[in-house]
Amino acid sequence: MNHARKRLFIFSAPSGAGKTTIAKHLLANYDFMRFSISATTRQRREKETHGKDYYFLSAAEFEDAIKRGDLAEYEQIFGNYYGTLKSEIQSALEAGKSLVFDIDVKGALSLQRVYPEESLLIFVAPPSMETLAKRLSERNTESADQLKLRLARAEMEMAEQDKFDEIIVNDDLEKAFQEARNLVERYAR
């Protein structure tokens, strides 16, 4: 079966399902792939770098970018804006690179609407909600209330997975890595 070549590999999943780990694995293995750096208004965490992990913008800067139409997609999540700058996508495509996205479900679906021919939507699913809850609580990055919000959001995101082109169930990380590499080989070549 012949597939159209894809340039935007869009990974989405509930928080804690492993999409970031899988995305980083692909970036380490394919030099023609580049990470799509999202813009956000959330506070920068200790080890994060502007222009490498995110483009950290003030709320006013982000809202100006919305008004100018500079974003391919954006959303407000847990009180902060997150979005993808059109310039980020354009520069990668012009350089002949494929982009790897690590974004939420709504953002993924929005990107597919804007770039239907170039996009491959890949949903990374946890083996179960119980496993996801365990992974999130073991991170120790959220309060109990934040954890409840994340799990409620995860249920909403899981309900959207049938809108994706491909699904990887992350019950075994090596197997998930292999499935992701297979998708790149099938769609990027």
Residue 107 structure tokens = 């953002």
Mean pLDDT of 79-98: 94
Say if 1 falls within a structural domain.
no
Which is it for strands 166-169 and 119-125: parallel, antiparallel or unpaired? parallel
pLDDT higher than threshold 90 for residue 8:
yes
Say if 163 falls within a structural domain.
yes
Say if 172 falls within a structural domain.
yes
Quote the pLDDT of residue 3.
Answer: 67
The answer for 6, left when phi > 0, alpha when psi is -120 to 50, beta otherwise, is beta
Say if 27 falls within a structural domain.
yes
Say if 3 falls within a structural domain.
no
- What is the count of structural domains for the chain? 1
| CATH code of residue 124 | 3.40.50.300
How does residue 2 score in pLDDT terms, banded at 50, 70 and 90? low
pLDDT higher than threshold 80 for residue 1:
no
CB neighbour class for 165 (10 Å; exposed up to 12, middle 13-18, buried from 19) = middle
Instruction: Please calculate the CA angle 88-82-136 and round it to the nearest 5 degrees.
Output: 120
The domain containing residue 92 runs over which residues?
8-188
Say if 41 falls within a structural domain.
yes
Say if 116 falls within a structural domain.
yes
Say if 2 falls within a structural domain.
no
When comparing pLDDT for 53 and 178, which is higher? Answer: 178
